[in-house]
Chains A and B, each alone.
Chain A
Amino acid sequence: MIEVRDLHKSFGDLKVLRGIDLEVAAGEVVCVIGPSGSGKSTLLRCVNLLEAPTSGTVIVDGAELTDPECDLDAVRRRIGMVFQQFNLFPHLSVLANVTIAQRRVLRRSAAEAQKVARANLERVGLADKIDAYPAQLSGGQQQRVAIARALAMGPSVMLFDEPTSALDPELVGDVLGVMRRLALDGMTMMVVTHEMSFAREVADRVVFMDGGVIVEEGPAAEVIGAPSSERARTFLSRVLDPAAAQVGEVEEA
Chain B
Amino acid sequence: MATAEGAAPRLTRRRRRQLVLGGEYAIFLVVVIALLGSADWHEIHANFANWSIAKQVFPDIITVGLRNTLIFTITGFTLGLAGGLVLALMRLSSAAPYRWFALTYIEAFRGLPALLIFVFVGTGVPLAFPGTNLPGGVYGQAALSLGLVSAAYMAETIRAGIEAVPRGQMEAARTLGMSQGKAMRSIVVPQALRIVIPPLTNELVLLFKDSSLALFLGITLQERELSKYSSDVASQQGNSTPIIIAAFCYLIITIPLSYLARRLEARQKRGQR
Q: Does B244 contact A (CB under 8 A)?
A: no
A153 x B273 contact (CB < 8 A): no
Are B271 and A135 interface neighbours, CB within 8 A? yes
With both chains docked as a complex, state the minimum distance between the C-beta of A80 and any C-beta of chain B, in angstroms: 7
CB distance from B190 to the nearest CB of A (A): 6
Is B222's beta carbon under 8 Å from chain A?
no
In contact, A73 and B169 (Cβ under 8 angstroms): no
A236 at the interface (CB under 8 A from B): no
**From B172, B174, B271, contact of A89 by CB (8 A):** B172
Query: For the complex, is B272 an interface residue (Cβ under 8 Å from A)?
Result: yes
Contact B176 A83 (CB under 8 A): no
Please name all residues of chain A whose beta carbon is closer than 8 Å to the beta carbon of B173 when the two chains form the complex: 89, 101
From the candidates B169, B177, B194, name the one contacting A87 in the complex (CB within 8 A).
Answer: B169
Residues on B with C-beta less than 8 A from A135 are 271-273
- Say yes or no for B182: interface residue by CB 8 A criterion: yes
Q: How many residues of A contact B (CB 8 A)?
A: 26
Question: For the complex, what is the distance from the CA of A77 to the CA of B175, rounded to whole Å?
Answer: 7
* Residues of B close to A50: CB separation below 8 A: 171, 174-175
Does B179 sit at the interface, judged by CB under 8 A?
A: yes
Indicate with 1 or 0, residue by residue over B153-184, a CB within 8 angstroms of chain A CB atoms. 00000000000001011011111111100100
Residue among B166, B169, B175, B182 with the most chain A CB within 10 A?
Answer: B175
Write the nearest CB–CB distance from B273 to chain A, whole angstroms.
6
Give the residue of A83, A90, A101 whose beta carbon is less than 8 angstroms from that of B177.
A101
- Whether the pair A80, B178 counts as a contact (CB closer than 8 A) is no
Nearest CB on B from A52, distance (A) = 12
A-B contact count (CB 8 A): 64
Main secondary structure of the interface of B (DSSP, over half): helix
Interface residue A48 (Cβ < 8 Å from any Cβ of B): yes
A contact residues around B169 at 8 Å (CB): 87, 89
A16 interface residue per 8 A CB criterion: no
Name the residue of chain A whose CB is nearest to the CB of B178: A105
- Asked if A205 is an interface residue, CB under 8 A from chain B, the answer is no
Closest to B271 in A: A135
Mark contacts of A89-107 with chain B using CB atoms, 8 A cut-off: 1 yes-contact digit, 0 otherwise: 1110000000011001110
B193: nearest chain-A partner, CB-CB: A91
**Minimum Cβ distance to chain A for residue B165 (Å):** 10
Which A residues are CB-close (under 8 A) to B175?
Answer: 48, 50, 76, 79-81, 150
Residues of chain B with a CB closer than 8 A to A73's CB: 174, 177-179
Cα of A83 to Cα of B171 in the assembled complex, Å:
9
Q: Which of A76, A90, A146 contacts B191 (CB 8 A)?
A: A90
**Please, which residue of chain B has its CB at the minimum distance from the CB of A103?**
B186
Please state if A83 and B271 are interface contacts (CB–CB under 8 Å).
no
When the two chains form their complex, are residues A104 and B182 in contact, meaning their CB atoms are under 8 A apart?
yes
Question: With a CB–CB cut-off of 8 A, which chain A residues contact B194?
Answer: 91
Contact flags B57-73 to A (C-beta < 8 A → 1, else 0): 00000000000000000
How distant is A188 from chain B, measured CB to nearest CB, in Å? Answer: 16
A135 to B268, CA, bound (A): 13
Task: Give chain A nearest CB distance to B178 CB in angstroms.
Answer: 6
Tell me which residues from 66 to 87 in chain A have a Cβ below 8 Å from any Cβ of chain B.
Answer: 73-74, 76-77, 79-81, 83, 85, 87
A100/B174 in contact, CB under 8 A: no
- Interface membership of chain B positions 246-265, coded 1 if the CB is closer than 8 angstroms to chain A and 0 otherwise: 00000000000000000000
Q: Is the CB of A100 within 8 A of B186?
A: yes
Which among B168, B176, B179, B187 has the greatest number of chain A C-beta atoms within 10 A?
A: B176
Instruction: Report if A149 contacts B (CB, 8 A).
Output: yes
Contact with A along B113-157 (1 / 0, CB 8 A): 000000000000000000000000000000000000000000000
Q: Name B272's contact: one of A90, A100, A106, A150 (CB within 8 Å).
A: A90
Report how far A69 CA is from B212 CA in the complex, Å: 55
Chain A CB within 10 A, most for which of B173, B177, B178, B272: B177
Contact B177 A76 (CB under 8 A): yes
Give Cα A149 to B172, complex, Å: 10
A residues less than 8 Å from B186 (CB atoms): 100, 104
> Taking beta carbons and an 8 Å cutoff, which residues of B are in contact with A?
166, 168-169, 171-179, 182, 186-187, 190-191, 194, 271-273
20 pairs from A and B in contact (CB 8 Å cutoff) = A50-B171, A73-B177, A73-B178, A76-B175, A77-B177, A79-B175, A81-B172, A83-B171, A83-B172, A87-B172, A89-B169, A89-B191, A90-B191, A90-B272, A90-B273, A91-B191, A104-B182, A104-B186, A135-B273, A146-B172
Apart from A73-B178, A79-B175, 4 more pairs, CB < 8 Å: A73-B177, A81-B175, A87-B171, A105-B178
What are the 5 closest A-B residue pairs judged by CB atoms, nearest first?
Answer: A77-B177, A101-B176, A87-B172, A87-B168, A81-B175
